[in-house]
Amino acid sequence: MAKRIDVNALNVYYSKFLAVEDISINIEPKSVTAFIGPSGCGKSTFLRTLNRMHEVIPGGRVEGEVLLDGDDLYGPGVDPVTVRSQIGMVFQRPNPFPTMSIKDNVLAGVKLNGKKISRSDADSLVEKSLRGANLWNEVKDRLDKPGSGLSGGQQQRLCIARTIAVKPDVILMDEPCSALDPISTLAIEDLINELKSDYTVVIVTHNMQQAARVSDKTAFFNIAGTGKPGKLIEYNETAAIFSNPEQKATEDYVSGRFG
């Protein structure tokens, strides 16, 4: 559980368009790393390269290497499906499977892969995952009801439960709170703090207070202009990024003087 990620000189393309250029970053295990930066700077694109979700988009490809505890995700013969089962992802908008109950949503990673699981194992996995996502007490009486009947914040926690049910090493979160109200956001942030003890968490956020609250280290991405590739400007302890950044651009961004 909880592996480290090392990225070396990664370029990310959409067909011929270079979207993110020359990223090198080391992400420690059992830590929360936040990616901040203006819209369109490539932080979500970069995040999606960390579990090979980028190539799902037609024309999406990368150059460079991403090492998960030393194993290159983009090495020859690596099955993206294996990668994704070890590096889970939570999306911007909660996306529970509409045809499935709450329980089946949690078990989706197991059941969709056609693995056999005994009823008692399934029940304990559901409870463990939902407890892990701080959702158990709210849904334990309606596990057979559809997941789409939950509130937005609950749906997002359901998606987190679904992700941790496949027991990944790393959890990537792409603006997980941007569609949620402050109370639900708080619930997710508390959850991220708890997840840190078992998983490596990487979170993209537009909310700098959120980055400051939840993360150990913060990476600031920026873009020189439209059509230019996004770059990693500064990567440091979160406290340093917010109180004493080395780069002028970072300081401008975190202090709100950007643009």
Question: In the complex, which residues of this chain contact other proteins (CB under 8 A)?
Answer: 51, 53, 56, 58, 81-86, 88-89, 91, 93, 95, 97-99, 108-109, 111-114, 142, 145-146, 148-150, 159, 162-163, 166
Nearer to other proteins, 14 or 97 (CB): 97
Nearer to other proteins, 54 or 217 (CB): 54
Min dist CB 258 to other proteins, Å, is 30
Answer whether 233's CB lies under 8 Å from 222's CB.
yes
Nearer to other proteins, 154 or 238 (CB): 154
Min dist CB 140 to other proteins, Å, is 14
Nearer to other proteins, 156 or 238 (CB): 156
Answer whether 221's CB lies under 8 Å from 35's CB.
yes
DSSP letter at 218?
Answer: E
Nearer to other proteins, 164 or 223 (CB): 164
Q: Which residues have a Cβ under 8 Å from the Cβ of 258 and sit 6 or more positions away?
A: 38, 249, 252
Answer whether 244's CB lies under 8 Å from 236's CB.
no
Q: Please tell me the distance from the alpha carbon of residue 142 to that of residue 22, in angstroms, as a whole number.
A: 48
Min dist CB 95 to other proteins, Å, is 4
Nearer to other proteins, 31 or 148 (CB): 148
Nearer to other proteins, 22 or 55 (CB): 55
Q: What are phi and psi of 144, to 5 degrees?
A: -95, 0
Min dist CB 105 to other proteins, Å, is 9
**What are the angstrom distances between the C-alpha of 112 and each of 105, 116, 166?**
10, 10, 11
Q: Please tell me the distance from the alpha carbon of residue 135 to that of residue 97, in angstroms, as a whole number.
A: 17
Min dist CB 138 to other proteins, Å, is 11
Using a 10 angstrom Cβ sphere, with 0-12 exposed, 13-18 middle and 19 or more buried, the burial of residue 86 is middle
Min dist CB 48 to other proteins, Å, is 9
Burial code of 148-179, b = ≥16 C-beta within 10 A, e = fewer? Answer: bebeebbbbbbbbbbbbbbbbbbbbbbbbbeb
Residues facing residue 202 across a β-bridge: 33, 172
Min dist CB 178 to other proteins, Å, is 14
